[in-house]
Amino acid sequence: MSEAYLHPMALVETENIGVGTYVWAFAHIMKDVTIGNNCNIGDHVFIESNVRVGNGVTIKNGVSVWEGVQIDDFSFIGPNVAFTNDRFPRSPRLDDAKSRYGGKSWLSPTIVSEGVSIGANATILCGLTLGKYCVVGAGSVVTRDVPPYRLVYGCPARMNGYVNKRGEVLKQVGDHFVQPVSGKHYLLYNDAEMRELTP
Amino acid sequence: MSEAYLHPMALVETENIGVGTYVWAFAHIMKDVTIGNNCNIGDHVFIESNVRVGNGVTIKNGVSVWEGVQIDDFSFIGPNVAFTNDRFPRSPRLDDAKSRYGGKSWLSPTIVSEGVSIGANATILCGLTLGKYCVVGAGSVVTRDVPPYRLVYGCPARMNGYVNKRGEVLKQVGDHFVQPVSGKHYLLYNDAEMRELTP
Amino acid sequence: MSEAYLHPMALVETENIGVGTYVWAFAHIMKDVTIGNNCNIGDHVFIESNVRVGNGVTIKNGVSVWEGVQIDDFSFIGPNVAFTNDRFPRSPRLDDAKSRYGGKSWLSPTIVSEGVSIGANATILCGLTLGKYCVVGAGSVVTRDVPPYRLVYGCPARMNGYVNKRGEVLKQVGDHFVQPVSGKHYLLYNDAEMRELTP
């Protein structure tokens, strides 16, 4: 496939959609959105102006990506995941709230780093960073930053272990990690890179 | 703007939409719905017949507003918020449940009062009243009435403090409240109105 | 009604939709889907290829039914309920995950048995069976099998009692159950059938 595939029932108002990317039915991509190559954007997805989506990203159905949410390469956003971009939302038409919505100071950004997986129906509060390759369990409510390669879940989401790039849950053994099925060993370098150890 | 703006991909079956109200793409507003002035109705929203939405309301994407849910002026409904209108839902085609769905006795109403904010992906059980200007945290499951000006969150949602009309969290100091940044003082009159105290 | 009713704004790519079934606006039913008779498929629903939906099923708005999810007769799926079909999702374009998505071994099935009710915005992890006529409370996160006729709710969902076919909560009295309003008595046979006792 040499171009993007835009479903005839998708509403796409940007031209910045990469090669090999699919946009499915009833999705709405606003203008001034950039989407990389080889992404899969599901039915009923909405992406707001000024959002940048990386390469190889999967966004399942029913997700709205608001301005201020950055979606890095190869991440997976499950169905009905809810992002936010305002810690104290009020209707901007409310007299007491109007002044707050004059500029963009209310906007609180969120970073979904490379390779992150967010399970179905999770809620991601704003002003947070989801670290590389972390996994958020389905139905979780994320209220704090998640460091790289962690598994978190629950309401609110709590640390429940470590994963590798494949998303497999690892067992901690002393200062390193083991994938129980394959027996492969890993080390987490600088709390930033989970590297497989060669025997 | 002197009229409503209806996106060409919205499906609007009522004529009772107020001046200055926007309805966005893939939204479906049924007949016998009334929406006030200066509202913002997001993509993929559904509003069922007999619902009344006040003035200045914001409904973000992916929300379904069922018959029995009343949305008062200046409220904010976050993305993917789920309303309900039946405490014990069964498929009405099920033989054992059919008799229950003959009339409307199964319908349990919900009131979203003036100025309320409901965070993204929250679930609102039915038969409840969300009091004026209360704030429901993102991802919460609301199972009880919320008094005015309260902040609630969690699954199930619990009281976690007080807010003012702007949605700012207040600190309780004796019998009144202080907004920590501005230093403004407030009193909650009759558990119904949060008034700023003039020094 | 002698045929299915397909809303003009629905996108229906299968011909296997039963008599008396309604499919509403902005819903997308893919090819190789089978839907039984007398179902009600709400706005913004998505049903993926190879899914089979029984007779008399109600699927409310905003639900995506993925391959691997089986929806049996007379079940009720609330609005924005999220199903899943992969325990460890990664974007299939991620190099480390690609091999996993070659076949279908990643696919973990879910069974929604006859007469089940799933409340609004609940999240259903995969590889699970929801037993006949069980009720899942709104906003719950279901992480384990649910036996028949149970009421479960919470995050994660826990057992909180028993229901009858009508969805009414029963009171346990010794070895049988009583519906407090009607006074009817029930016995749960073989943990599989809740039968009314004739006096």
Nearest CA in chain C to A59: C91
Across the strands, what pairs with B70? Answer: B111
Beta strands A185-189 and A193-197 are: antiparallel
User: How buried is residue A171: exposed, middle or buried, by Cβ count under 10 Å (0-12/13-18/19+)?
Assistant: exposed
| Mean pLDDT, rounded, for A101-128 | 97
| B39 confidence band (pLDDT: 50, 70, 90) | very high
Q: Which residues of C touch B88 (CB under 8 A)?
A: 117, 135, 166-169
Interface touch B89/C74, C-beta < 8 Å: no
Given a contact cutoff of 8 angstroms between Cβ atoms, the answer to whether C154 and C136 are in contact is: no
Interface touch A166/C80, C-beta < 8 Å: no
Q: Which residues contact A57 (CB under 8 A, 6 or more apart)?
A: A35, A36, A39, A40, A71, A72, A73, A74, A75, A76, A77, C91, C93
Interface touch B43/A28, C-beta < 8 Å: yes
Give the pLDDT confidence score for residue B172 in this predicted structure.
95
Interface touch B80/C57, C-beta < 8 Å: no
| Mean pLDDT, rounded, for B67-95 | 98
Taking only the tens place, the pLDDT of each residue in A53-105 is: 999 999 999 999 999 999 999 999 999 999 999 999 999 999 999 999 999 99
CA distance linking residue C28 with residue C26, whole number of Å: 6
3-state SS assignment for residue A95: helix
Q: Which residues of C touch A9 (CB under 8 A)?
A: 11, 28
Q: Which residues of A touch B79 (CB under 8 A)?
A: 64, 66, 82-84
| B191 confidence band (pLDDT: 50, 70, 90) | very high
| Mean pLDDT, rounded, for B31-46 | 98
Q: Which residues of C touch B28 (CB under 8 A)?
A: 9, 24-26, 43
Give the pLDDT confidence score for residue C6 in this predicted structure.
98
Interface touch A166/C123, C-beta < 8 Å: no
Q: Which residues of B touch C152 (CB under 8 A)?
A: none
**CATH for B5-164?**
2.160.10.10
Interface touch B75/A89, C-beta < 8 Å: no
HSE toward the beta carbon, residue A122, CA cutoff 13 A: 27
Taking only the tens place, the pLDDT of each residue in A18-28 is: 999 999 999 99
Q: Does this complex have an ipTM over 0.95?
A: yes
Give the pLDDT confidence score for residue A199 in this predicted structure.
72
Q: Which two tokens stand for residue B145?
A: 């009435």
Q: Which long-range contacts (CB under 8 A, 24 or more apart) does A3-10 make?
A: A9/C11, A9/C28
pLDDT above 90: percentage of residues in chain C: 98
| Mean pLDDT, rounded, for C48-57 | 98
**Given a cut of 70, is residue B124 above it in pLDDT?**
yes
**Given a cut of 60, is residue B1 above it in pLDDT?**
no
Distance in Å, alpha carbon of C76 to nearest chain B alpha carbon: 5
pLDDT averaged over chain A?
97
Given a contact cutoff of 8 angstroms between Cβ atoms, the answer to whether B134 and B148 are in contact is: yes
Interface touch A138/C46, C-beta < 8 Å: no
Distance in Å, alpha carbon of A78 to nearest chain B alpha carbon: 14
Q: Which residues of A touch C92 (CB under 8 A)?
A: 40, 58
Identify each DSSP E strand in B108-168 by its residue range: 110-112, 117-118, 123-124, 129-130, 135-136, 141-142, 150-153, 158-163
* Block residue for tokens 């990690």: A177
Nearest CA in chain C to B93: C56
Give the pLDDT confidence score for residue C198 in this predicted structure.
84
**Given a cut of 60, is residue A1 above it in pLDDT?**
no
Of the candidates A55, A61, A168, the beta carbon closest to that of C46 is on A61
Nearest CA in chain A to B122: A123
Q: Which residues of A touch B44 (CB under 8 A)?
A: 26, 44, 46, 62
Interface touch A123/B115, C-beta < 8 Å: no
pLDDT above 90: percentage of residues in chain A: 98
Of the candidates B58, B62, B139, the beta carbon closest to that of A155 is on B139
| C1 confidence band (pLDDT: 50, 70, 90) | low
**Chains with ≥3 CB–CB distances under 8 Å to B:** A, C
Best C61, C64, C133, C195 residue to mutate vs chain B (most B CBs within 10 Å): C61
H-helix or E-strand spanning residue A122: none
Interface touch C76/B88, C-beta < 8 Å: no
Interface touch B84/C120, C-beta < 8 Å: yes
Q: How many CB atoms lie within 10 A of CB B84?
A: 26
Q: Which residues of C touch A60 (CB under 8 A)?
A: 64
Cα separations in angstroms, C160 against A95, C24, C149, C155: 44, 34, 11, 13
Q: How many CB atoms lie within 10 A of CB A168?
A: 20
Taking only the tens place, the pLDDT of each residue in C72-106 is: 999 999 999 999 999 999 999 999 999 999 999 99
Q: Which two tokens stand for residue A132?
A: 């590389």
Given a contact cutoff of 8 angstroms between Cβ atoms, the answer to whether B163 and B148 are in contact is: no
Interface touch B97/C166, C-beta < 8 Å: yes
Chain C residues with CB-CB distance to A under 8 A? Answer: 11, 26, 28, 44, 46, 62, 64, 66, 80, 82-84, 88-94, 96-97, 100, 121, 123, 125, 141, 155-156
Q: Which residues contact A91 (CB under 8 A, 6 or more apart)?
A: A97, B40, B56, B57, B58, B74, B75, B76, B115, B117
Of the candidates A83, A100, A121, the beta carbon closest to that of B166 is on A100
Chain A residues with CB-CB distance to B under 8 A? Answer: 11, 26, 28, 44, 46, 62, 64, 66, 80, 82-84, 88-94, 96-97, 100, 121, 123, 125, 141, 155-156
Give the pLDDT confidence score for residue C54 in this predicted structure.
98
Interface touch C56/B88, C-beta < 8 Å: no
Taking only the tens place, the pLDDT of each residue in C143-165 is: 999 999 999 999 999 999 999 99
